[in-house]
Structure 1
Amino acid sequence: MNRFALSVSAGIARITESALGPYQSAVIRIGFSATWLLFLLREFPHRQEMYGPDAPWSWGLAHQLVTSNGAFTALMWSDTQIWFELIYVIAVLASALLLLGWRTRAMSVLFMVGVVSLQNRSVFMGDGGDNVLHLMSVYLVFTRCGQVWSLDARRRRLADEARTRGERVVDRTGPALWAVLGFALVAVTAGGRFDGIDPTVPVILWLTWVAQAVWWVVARRAKSREPRVLLDVVANLAHNGALLVIMAEACMIYSTAGWYKIQGTRWQDGTAVYYPLHLDYFSPWPALGDLMSSSGTMLMLVTYGTVIVQVAFPFTLLNRRLKNVLLAVMMTEHAVIAVVLGLPFFSLAMIATDAVFLPTPFLLLLGGAAARARDRVRTRAGRTPLPEPRPAESAEPTHAGSTA
């Protein structure tokens, strides 16, 4: 009984004292923001036809749908061309800055707003990858995804070094950003833009904005450490809970997809993969599709293998080695889908989702290789290599509560 109590106590301490999976959360931040950014840049010449005021799914039709289902989209606040361009540019900038890890708390919120605004504007434009990105953009807001591999981590490291030298560190960018976003939030709320829609997004916006203010006040005015420690515990719980939800979402996606495939006759007889390879819509490289479909045995193995991997993956989490093997298989499969079927953004979204299960040693190896490549480039350019970042320790309070 004592051993059990000690185990429970250690588990509670672990999930409250630190934000788990710092490298995994950084990878999914980079993966999802890169996926959305690349999509927006690729579709930039076609943005008018997809989400603009003159799109086939017109602003009036979108307004009727939003009025009936209560979905949030900032594009419904005005039907002018200037407003559409502004929202699109904000979505691009938020994705790029989140990718770099600059003020990740604020950028994750703007990233979510950009994703749901554009996707809810034209609901028939998306595919399975867009649905995944839609959900993950909401979960990402609650994670402390800038602990490593981010400009926020670099800024905190430089601030710590300055404090060690006895220098006074003042952050003016964070409060200014918080004030600007707060003014916009108050104006939107006072203007009735949130009336009649699902309250999920407005609640998240207000919750994160108020939480930033509370953290700033506590960090600078509290006379004891207890209030700050309490807020840090709350932030860690939110992060760890969001990370658990992301993992559960990934398992649900694969398990439901696998079990639905089992019920399909084409998947049962091993011919399901053959037909997409011969559809013009999914054939960017017809010769490659013909090559893959030339072997009936290969098609049958790929069809059955896909079902087996998707159904089995949630259960392999109980065995680390088997999980890593299936994880590599699934990522490879998504990469093949991206090339052969012409679905790059769906595949990128799924690979980013899978990344939450990647082992930390592999991510450290990957990060080390990226750092060495960066240093070689800087050396050739005649610049001093950057110092190696410190391994992530317990979550820094300055991330969850700063206006980053």
Structure 2
Amino acid sequence: MGRLTAAIGNGITRVSDRALGPYQSAIIRIGFSATWLLFLLREFPHRRELYGPNGPWSWELAQQLIGTNDAFTVLMWSDSMVWFEIVYAVAVLATLLLLLGWRTRAMSVLFMVGVLSLQNRSVFMGDGGDNVLHLMAIYLVFVRCAQVWSLDARRARRTRERLERDGRAPEDRVGPALWCVLGFALLVATFGGLIPGGLLGGWLTFFWGLWAVHGLFWAAGRIESDTKPRVLLDIVGNLTHNAVLLVIMAEACLIYAAAGWYKVQGGRWQDGTAAYYPLHLDYFSPWAALSDLMTSSGTMVMLVTYGTVIVQVAFPFTLFNRRVKNVLLAVMMTEHAVIAVVLGLPFFSLAMIAADAVFLPTSFLKRVGRLVARARDRVVRRVLPGRGAEVPGPRDPERSPLPQEKESAEQAHVGFTA
């Protein structure tokens, strides 16, 4: 009984003292923001037909649908082409800044607004990956995804170095200014009746709650780190981060489990021929010769069909064995890469790979980070001779001379200042 109590206590301490999975949360931030950014840039020439006033799903039809499901989209505030272009440009900019990890708390909210606004404007413009991106955009708002591999982490490191050197940290003016600008925009939208829901529920409460919480974290960050308000907010932030990270993992497992068990019930999947048919649909055959080559062997079709079902059904159960999980994870990511090329679904595959990345081992992600940093330094040295050593690289929190708990708290504070 004593051991069980101690184990429970250690578990509670672990999930409340720090935000777990800093590298996993960073890679899903990078993965989903990169997926959405590439999609927005790829469809830039067709943006008005997909989501704008020139699309077949007219503004009136979208307004009728949203009136019944209460979906959130700022594109319903006006049917003006100018307003659409502004929203699209802000969505691109916010996604890029989230990818870089600049003022991540504010950019994650704007990223979510951009994703929901465009997707809810034209609900039929998707390939399955949009559903995953839709959910993850909401989850990222609650995740501390800028602890590593971000401009926020670099700013936190420089702040600590300045504090150690000069005895005082530089004043942050950008964060409060951004918070005030977003608050003013939210105030205008509230009194303009643009956001559905009252102050006791709906999107209006959600956005005002986020705005107030971010301001509270900024105010608490100006107090000594060992005071009760600061400690309490850090615990709440860590618990929220860890809980949502667990939800993201459960969501990925649910996607694969549901897909696998539904496939088991299909006759084509049972007789091993299901993989043949999508490869011969014109819409999913960008490389007809490659599709014909893959389906020329009945054995290959059977192996792909049964292998897909086995991997999807088995993956949630492999989480209890790290080695088996890593093998199946590599297989699933490879499968999605093949789908991106053979079936012509790159953004669906990128979204699924980004969701799978939450299960990647920390050691592997650290190794990838070091390789990327070295490659970047080589490029910088070629472009700017003699300047490569001055470019700060991603720093491993575990190698910091400061205690891990203090560094995590400082990184989390900087992440919440905007």
Instruction: Calculate the TM-score normalised by the size of structure 2.
Output: 0.94
Which deviates more from structure 2 when the two are superposed, residues 347-356 or residues 383-392?
383-392
Which deviates more from structure 2 when the two are superposed, residues 197-206 or residues 373-382?
197-206
Q: Work out whether residues 72 and 116 of structure 1, in 8 Å CA contact, stay in contact via their aligned partners in 2.
A: yes
Partner of 1:10: 10
Q: CA deviation at 1:168?
A: 3.9
Partner of 1:333: 335
Inter-partner Cα distance in structure 1 for 2:207 and 2:197: 16
1:163 aligns with 2:177: no
Q: Work out whether residues 268 and 274 of structure 2, in 8 Å CA contact, stay in contact via their aligned partners in 1.
A: yes
Partner of 1:69: 69
Partner of 1:365: 367
Q: Work out whether residues 31 and 348 of structure 1, in 8 Å CA contact, stay in contact via their aligned partners in 2.
A: yes
Find 2:279's aligned residue among 277, 280, 299.
277
- AA of the residue aligned to 2:153: A
- AA of the residue aligned to 2:116: V
Q: Work out whether residues 67 and 196 of structure 1, in 8 Å CA contact, stay in contact via their aligned partners in 2.
A: no
- AA of the residue aligned to 1:21: G
- Structure 2 residue ranges without an equivalent (≥5): 398-403
Partner of 2:412: 399
- Structure 1 residue ranges without an equivalent (≥5): none
Q: Mapping of 1:164-313 within 5 angstroms?
A: 164-166=164-166, 167-195=168-196, 200-220=202-222, 225-313=227-315
Which deviates more from structure 2 when the two are superposed, residues 190-199 or residues 108-117?
190-199
Identity %: 68
CA RMSD after TM alignment: 1.6
How many correspondences in the alignment?
A: 404
Partner of 1:144: 144
Find 1:384's aligned residue among 384, 388, 399.
388
Q: CA deviation at 1:203?
A: 3.3
Per the alignment, in what secondary structure is the counterpart of residue 396 of structure 1? Answer: helix
Q: Work out whether residues 177 and 403 of structure 1, in 8 Å CA contact, stay in contact via their aligned partners in 2.
A: no
Inter-partner Cα distance in structure 2 for 1:196 and 1:368: 47
Per the alignment, in what secondary structure is the counterpart of residue 142 of structure 2? Answer: coil
Inter-partner Cα distance in structure 2 for 1:157 and 1:223: 16
Inter-partner Cα distance in structure 1 for 2:110 and 2:298: 48
- AA of the residue aligned to 2:417: T
Q: Work out whether residues 28 and 358 of structure 2, in 8 Å CA contact, stay in contact via their aligned partners in 1.
A: yes
Alpha-carbon distance change, 27 to 321 in structure 1, aligned in 2, over 3 angstroms: same
Inter-partner Cα distance in structure 2 for 1:108 and 1:15: 23
Inter-partner Cα distance in structure 2 for 1:239 and 1:20: 8
Per the alignment, in what secondary structure is the counterpart of residue 5 of structure 2? Answer: helix
Per the alignment, in what secondary structure is the counterpart of residue 273 of structure 1? Answer: helix
Alpha-carbon distance change, 224 to 297 in structure 1, aligned in 2, over 3 angstroms: closer
Inter-partner Cα distance in structure 1 for 2:345 and 2:86: 28
1:347 aligns with 2:349: yes
Alpha-carbon distance change, 242 to 23 in structure 1, aligned in 2, over 3 angstroms: same
Inter-partner Cα distance in structure 1 for 2:21 and 2:223: 31
Alpha-carbon distance change, 52 to 223 in structure 1, aligned in 2, over 3 angstroms: closer
- AA of the residue aligned to 1:6: A
Alpha-carbon distance change, 261 to 51 in structure 1, aligned in 2, over 3 angstroms: same
